[in-house]
Amino acid sequence: MQKMVFRLNGHPVETLVEPHWTLLDLLRDKLELTGTKEGCGQGECGACTVLLDGLAVNACLFPVLEAEGREVTTIEGLAGPDGALHPLQEAFINYGAVQCGFCTPGMILSAKALLDENPHPAEDDIRAALAGNFCRCTGYAQIIQAIQSLGAYEEKEVEFITRET
């Protein structure tokens, strides 16, 4: 085992890992953050998407030690400390963008990475950002509508962060 230090959902974490682990192994199996899903395990479905320094990555392919010293955000890190849902989570619920829910954490984190960079994405931008996230249930229309509904995303994000502090 090897020592690893990084930030997870805003908090410093020091842990021991096996060098051959993926980031998904660490998150799900050791840290028990099971909101990050394992689907294909081969970088094809996006169920394991997390944010690494704000960018969406497939945790099932990401070598754990490459997250050393970096900031990882999982779906558990999105809700406020009081359990308040993030505006994206609320939008997914309101637009019926969650059915079985297996793809949802990855979808929401990919959407967050997009909106943080481009708060007013066109439908094509959303489809491109979600190209690596598969959903077997919704047909994507509700997911795209939910993301588009956050037209005032910056304001909602600021309001959410302010409410947290």
Q: CA 108 → CA 3, 13, 31, distances in Å? A: 30, 23, 21
Residue 33, classed as helix, strand or coil, is coil
Give CA–CA dist 161/10, Å, rounded.
Answer: 13
Smallest distance, Å, CB 24 to ligand FES? 7
Indicate the residue among 40 and 128 with the shorter CB distance to ligand FES: 40
Q: Check if the beta carbon of residue 68 is closer than 8 Å to that of residue 151.
A: no
Check residue 60 for interaction with ligand FES (CB under 6 A): yes
Give CA–CA dist 82/66, Å, rounded.
Answer: 31
Binding mask 83-112 for ligand FES (x = CB under 6 A): ---------------xxxxxxx--------
Check residue 77 for interaction with ligand FES (CB under 6 A): no
Smallest distance, Å, CB 44 to ligand FES? 5
Position 103, amino acid: C
Q: Which of 9, 13, 34, 41 binds ligand FES (CB under 6 A)?
A: 41
Using CB under 6 A, list all residues that contact ligand FES.
38-41, 43-48, 58, 60, 98-104, 135-138
